[in-house]
Amino acid sequence: MTTPLGDPAARLLLARTARAQRDARVPSLVAGVVRDGAVAWSAGRGEVEEPHADVQYRLGSITKPLVALAVMRLRDAGRLGLDDPLEQHLPGTPYGQRTVGQLLSHTAGLRAEAPGDWWERVSGLDWPGMSSQLTADDVPHAAGRRFHYSNLGYGTLGELVARLRGRPWTDVVRDEVLLPLGMTRTTPRPDGRAAKGWAVHPWADVLLPEPEEDGGAMAPAGQLWATLTDLGRFAALLLGDTGGVVSTATLEEMLEPAGVDGAAPGFSAYGLGLQVVRLPAPGGERTVVGHGGSMPGFLASVFADRDEAFGTVFLANGTSGLDATLLRDLHAIVREHEPHVVEPWTAAAEVGPLELVGPWYWGPYPYGLRLSSDGLLHLAALSGGGRASRFRDRGDGTFVGLDGYHAGEPLRVVRDGGAVVALDLGSFVFSRTPYDAGAPQPGGVAEGGWRPA
């Protein structure tokens, strides 16, 4: 059960939200904090109907991670691979040799927008109509060479989902992602109580209505509408409550940075449909994961701090005005005034491979290998820095790296007459003493061993 946030956090969050709505001059703004799987605090400011948490706003690019979840479900079902060329599943584009994974991570080299008119403010073409306009000029960058955000890429992924599932991408996302998560007020077009999109004049306090059109083939890049409550449920997924939509391992894979946005201030990267951002914070940066969104008339944000076990969401019905300081400040208030209380340490339920733990040496570099209660092995340099990684038991006597430099690399236990003499980590040999001659050291150990100068 979610415990509501108390004062002073609730008061400070309200004050910051109110100031953002006024200073940014957005007609309305709703904001919330998600903890323990639900919205623990929320507020609405400006011309927003009550209950403010049940008013739809357009999500813009937050549509992308929902489409990405549908793609990853296809991967997990064996219908496609991330290294598959697009041509294998969706023939006929000038970027058919770019891979599904590259499209998900914006590293396929595609142009940012679709050919033709500014797709966000006009009625969009269907896939045959749009794809018939694609040329080699729509692929300005080499594959995998750089991060280049591409709405065109996600329009393509939406068609890929539709083609492989045999029905519209909106139906697939609804049935396989939204409904299992309980996001019943997330729809392709405004449905029921919904905010009107506005542009605010930059030099006067007057408004201009923004158009709301069906994006057609580009809709997977920014079509969906949702309420604060629904977006909070998506934040809960980012925190690990996946509702069975994808496995925890798949979610972790989506959060692994693939492309770095060199134009963003600070560190900003993109995984498989999700942004990974480092926010400035006292004592060092904080990593948050999620996505931002914007469309003419709307701004949106959903980001989770997985280490602190909370997320924030906000939605506004103005084309411009809000900046990254609102996200940063909401997170800072929660961290300072509602800090996460971690679970107590408990001993492991089973005794694992204790013969592997303790000090090891990669050449002269000292490392420590520790076994945690979740069964993972943690490798860390004892001299600071170094190549830290976690390893999971494969069940066949070997382990696989989960993160860091050794992600995906095999760790094999080397034995001599049953006794452990070394660890072979992707060809790197770790021994119990520096360059132990009793271990299979690549290149051998000089005769006579260690000696004085």
Residue 293 to residue 297: CA distance in whole angstroms: 11
Per-residue pLDDT reduced to its tens digit, 358-379: 999 999 999 999 999 999 999 9
Q: What percent of the chain has pLDDT over 70?
A: 99
Please answer whether residues 53 and 20 qualify as being in contact, where contact means their C-beta atoms are separated by less than 8 angstroms: no
Mean pLDDT of the residues in the chain: 95
Residue 313 has pLDDT above 90, yes or no: yes
Please answer whether residues 257 and 107 qualify as being in contact, where contact means their C-beta atoms are separated by less than 8 angstroms: no
Residue 400 has pLDDT above 90, yes or no: yes
> HEC profile for the chain?
CCCCCCCCHHHHHHHHHHHHHHHHCCCEEEEEEEECCEEEEEEEEECCCCCHHHCEEECHHHHHHHHHHHHHHHHHCCCCCCCCEHHHCCCCCCCCCCEHHHHHCCCCCCCCCCCCCCHHHCCCCCHHHHHCCCCHHHCCCCCCCCCCCCHHHHHHHHHHHHHHHCCCHHHHHHHHHHHHHCCCCCECCCCCCECCCEEECCCCCCEEECCCCCCHHHHHHCCCEECHHHHHHHHHHHCCCCCCCCCHHHHHHHHCCCEECCCCCCCEEECCCCEEEEECCCCCCEEEEEEEEEECCEEEEEEEECCCCEEEEEEECECCCCCHHHHHHHHHHHHHHCCCCCCCCCCCCCCCCHHHCEEEEECCEEEEEEECCCCCEEEEECCCCCCCEEEEECCCCEEEECCHHHCCCEEEEEEECCEEEEEEECCEEEECCCCCCCCCCCCCCCCCCCCCC
According to the model, what pLDDT value does residue 450 have? 93
Residue 1 has pLDDT above 90, yes or no: no
pTM of this structure: 0.93
Q: What percent of the chain has pLDDT over 90?
A: 90
Residue 337 to residue 359: CA distance in whole angstroms: 39
Please answer whether residues 64 and 103 qualify as being in contact, where contact means their C-beta atoms are separated by less than 8 angstroms: no
Strands 398-401 and 410-416 come out as: antiparallel
pLDDT band with cut points at 50, 70 and 90 for residue 138: very high
pLDDT band with cut points at 50, 70 and 90 for residue 324: confident
In angstroms, how far is the first alpha carbon of the chain from the final one?
Answer: 66
According to the model, what pLDDT value does residue 284 have? 82
Domain residue spans in the chain? Answer: 9-337, 354-431
Per-residue pLDDT reduced to its tens digit, 248-285: 999 999 999 998 877 766 778 999 999 999 988 888 88
According to the model, what pLDDT value does residue 265 have? 67
Question: Which structure tokens are listed for 373?
Answer: 């209660």
Residue 144 to residue 83: CA distance in whole angstroms: 12
Per-residue pLDDT reduced to its tens digit, 14-30: 999 999 999 999 999 99
Task: Give the residue-averaged pLDDT of 205-217.
Answer: 96
Residue 201 to residue 199: CA distance in whole angstroms: 7
Strands 207-209 and 198-200 come out as: antiparallel
9-337 under CATH 3.40.710.10, yes or no = yes
Residue 158 to residue 133: CA distance in whole angstroms: 17
Task: Give the residue-averaged pLDDT of 329-341.
Answer: 96
Maximum CA pair distance of the chain? 85
